[in-house]
Amino acid sequence: MQTQKNKNLKALFATALVVAVVGISPVDLAAIALVRQDQPGTGSLTPLQLKIERQRVRLNSAEQEERRDAVSQLGAMHHPDASRVAVFALKDSSAIVRATAASSVLALPRDESVTKLIPLLSDKDEFVRREAAYALGKTRGNNAVGPLIDRLLTDKEDAVRGASAVALGEISDATAVAALAAVISSQAGVAASKKNQKSKKEKNPFVLRAAARSLGQIGSPGAVPALIAVLQDEKVDDDVRRESAVALGLIGEPSSLPALRNVLTARDPYLSRAAHEAVQKILKSSINNGR
């Protein structure tokens, strides 16, 4: 009898400790207990598991803001088990919840998170598509390149195309070079390749800057002609030309030196500086590589 009493006291102490340290209310604990009844053999839960279970319960709330916060809390745990619970929110009826869930599943293994996120690129809501693109970039998953290229070339919303361009740079797969080059080439009046003829002339400065920057991140010499064409076209926004100069410096091809030197005296001092830094970077790289 005394032994059972001691066990009960220990259980009460453990519950109080969880409430104080983990931040789970007695009401939440009761709800979690009901959920766990359907999962026999699980035994006692660790503090992390209790945190996850609390958010799982909150995902069933009728309140949009509570579901959104639950997804955010799951993402902040940076744990695969938490991300697997957050996956359910990718199909939530609320766009803000789906968008929040996009970044909350990134603790999953790369291929798994990419597979879960790609369908969101076709979401009816612009915000969701944008956040899905950014999240896919953070996965660094090469199998996301194709879907992101499609969004870059065809999405009607500037924000989604820009996010797709940024993501392609983060993934840094050379197969994206042709599409990114087609985007900036359309601005400079250079004919796009047959593969990318479906892309329209890009007018949004953010998308153009992001595409140029991503070409620099990828670092493929195949991007040099398109970047030089943009750099030399004075009709192109100076911000885009500046990003092209920076990208050429990152790629480091000596063949781009004449074009960069031509803009060293450009009317835009920031462009001139970017060109100067790119020239120095290429020259230093050439010396180090014995070119």
Per-residue pLDDT reduced to its tens digit, 76-99: 999 999 999 999 999 999 999 999
pLDDT band at 291; cut points 50, 70, 90: low
Per-residue pLDDT reduced to its tens digit, 96-130: 999 999 999 999 999 999 999 999 999 999 999 99
pTM for this one? 0.82
What per-residue confidence (pLDDT) applies to 181? 97
Bigger pLDDT: 46 vs 186: 46
CATH number of 176-291: 1.25.10.10
pLDDT over 90 at 22, yes or no: no
CATH number of 48-59+69-171: 1.25.10.10
Whether 141 and 114 have beta carbons less than 8 Å apart is answered as: yes
- Do domains 48-59+69-171 and 176-291 share one topology? The answer is yes
How far is it, in rounded angstroms, from Cα 253 to Cα 271? 19
Bigger pLDDT: 259 vs 32: 259
Per-residue pLDDT reduced to its tens digit, 31-55: 455 445 445 444 578 999 999 999 9
Per-residue pLDDT reduced to its tens digit, 198-250: 457 898 999 999 999 999 999 999 999 999 999 999 999 999 999 999 999 99
Residue length of the chain: 291
Q: How far is CA 109 from CA 1, 72, 120, 194, 251, in A?
A: 49, 19, 18, 36, 30
pLDDT over 90 at 196, yes or no: no
DSSP 188: H
Percentage of the chain lying above the pLDDT 90 cut: 76
Mean pLDDT within 61-80: 98
How far is it, in rounded angstroms, from Cα 215 to Cα 184? 10
pLDDT band at 28; cut points 50, 70, 90: low
Give the domain ranges of the chain.
48-59+69-171, 176-291
What per-residue confidence (pLDDT) applies to 45? 85
Arithmetic mean of pLDDT over the chain = 87
Bigger pLDDT: 9 vs 254: 254
